[in-house]
Amino acid sequence: MAAPSPLPAANANTPLIEVSGLTKVYQTPAGAFTALGGIDLRIYPGEFVGVIGKSGSGKSTFINMLTGIDRPTTGDVTIGGVSLPGLDETGMARWRGRHLGIVFQFFQLLPTLTLVENLILPMELNGLYSRAERRARAMHLLEQVNLAAQADKLPGAVSGGQQQRAAIARALACDPPLIVADEPTGNLDSKTADAIFTLFAQMVKDGKTIIIVTHDADQARRVDRTILIADGKVVNEYLARALSALDYEQLAEVAGRVQPLTFASGATIVRQGETGDKFYILLDGQVDIVIERPSGAPVLVNQLSRGEYFGEMALLGKTVRQATVRVSPDHSAALAALDAAAFDRLVQEAPVLGRQLTRTLEQRQKANLARSRTGQPAG
């Protein structure tokens, strides 16, 4: 029996995964503990997503919701149009077997089965392919991860890196569109971990959607996007991108301090000549940076989009605003703002961020000066 198409055809504009209002509360002897506190996000087909956060932040609980291993207290997880909380245990097992590949930190290969048998088993359990096709497919997958020569060995007879590669091949056995890997390189040396990560990157190029939980900051920089979970909540990815010099704990602290703001199309956010009182990070929309001139039309010197920031110039230099910032036409803007006192404290506590902001400031000053000299009016 040939493998069925597990999910609707991938559409880059339609989310593969939609998470809405997701909460998880555990009852403990000490009282209720909120592991996840209301998560909303979307993941699209073909994305390579890293889930990061310090130990105890809630990332493992979040992954358990995506894989159906655990159930939410409230909220929904929809994958390919299927609401996972709406499935009973039998339906969940059937759905997971056809649509999801899971790679565990500790491999979870059955020790009494050879590597090739470990790959054949999920195809048998899910009634996919004929008997001859199953072995041929298993060998093909082992060949893809350079383990064909080890196919008839037991897991205990090969290295940890080889076991993990076999586990990845097993996750592909039923040709799922989605792979979830929970700390898959946590027990491997750096060279083997890099090889495993490169394998995941190739799988994404081949059309898979991959979500990987990792504590490795270098690996997190190699994914398409990161989801930072702190205290059971997702830190806005554009906030994390703008403040990438901060560590997880610093980002989580900043996320709790920022003030969310929204502005309509054409609205002025800061005005040239005013005293600087806030640092802004653009979470959605687009803004225009405009220099007002004593004579002549204002000059558009820059446009900023999601994940970029402004307002650092006046705060770092203790000067007035050097430009006007307004929302671009046909856009609205969502921002996160830090007041001057919080900004100063952040720069003092994270010198690397201060250096990053200073470099950006110097680059912008040069670019703004060059553009203003051209005299092109703002559009």
pLDDT in tens, the chain (379 residues): 343 344 544 556 789 999 999 999 999 999 999 999 999 999 999 999 999 888 888 888 999 999 999 999 999 999 999 999 999 999 999 899 889 999 887 888 999 999 999 999 999 998 899 988 999 999 999 998 889 999 999 999 999 889 988 998 999 899 899 999 988 877 778 888 888 888 888 889 989 999 999 877 777 778 888 888 888 888 888 888 888 788 777 887 888 889 999 999 999 999 999 999 999 999 999 999 999 888 778 889 889 999 899 998 888 888 899 899 999 998 999 999 999 998 888 888 888 888 888 887 777 667 666 665 665 555 4
Integer Cα distance of 322 and 272 in angstroms: 5
State in words which class domain 17-235 has: alpha beta
Tokens encoding 216: 């490795």
**Whole-angstrom Cα distance, residue 301 to residue 288?**
8
Residue 286 and residue 327 in contact, taking contact as beta carbons nearer than 8 Å: yes
Q: Residue-wise over 333-371: b if at least 16 C-beta within 10 A, else e? A: bbbbbbebebbbebbeebeebbebbeebeeebeeebeeb
Pairwise CA distance, residues 158 & 163, whole Å: 7
Residue with tokens 């040396």: 189
For the entire predicted model, the pTM comes to 0.77
Measured between alpha carbons, how far is 322 from 353 in angstroms, rounded to an integer? 21
- Only one residue has tokens 């270098």, namely 218
Reading the block at residue 38, the tokens are 């209301």
- The predicted pLDDT at position 114 comes to 96
Please report, to the nearest 10 degrees, the dihedral formed by the alpha carbons of residues 149, 108, 123, 51 taken in order: -110
Q: Architecture of domain 252-374 in CATH? A: Sandwich (2.60)
Between CA 293 and CA 259 the distance in angstroms is 31
- One-letter amino acid at 112 equals T
pLDDT of the residue at 4: 38
319 within 8 A of 247, measured Cβ to Cβ: no
Residue 318 identity (one-letter amino acid): K
In the chain, which residues fall in CATH 2.60.120.10?
252-374
User: Pick from 323, 307, 318: which is nearest to 269 by CA?
Assistant: 323
- What's the chain's length in residues? 379
pLDDT at 235: 87
- Separation of first and last alpha carbons in the chain: 61
Residues of the chain with CATH 3.40.50.300: 17-235
Can you give the pLDDT at residue 374? 60
Could you give the CA distance from residue 368 to residue 360 in angstroms, rounded to a whole number? 12
The answer to whether residues 4 and 55 touch, using CB atoms and an 8 Å cutoff, is no
H helices of the chain, in order, are 59-67, 89-99, 115-125, 131-144, 160-171, 190-205, 217-220, 237-242, 248-257, 312-317, 340-349, 351-374
CB atoms within 10 A of CB 265: 14
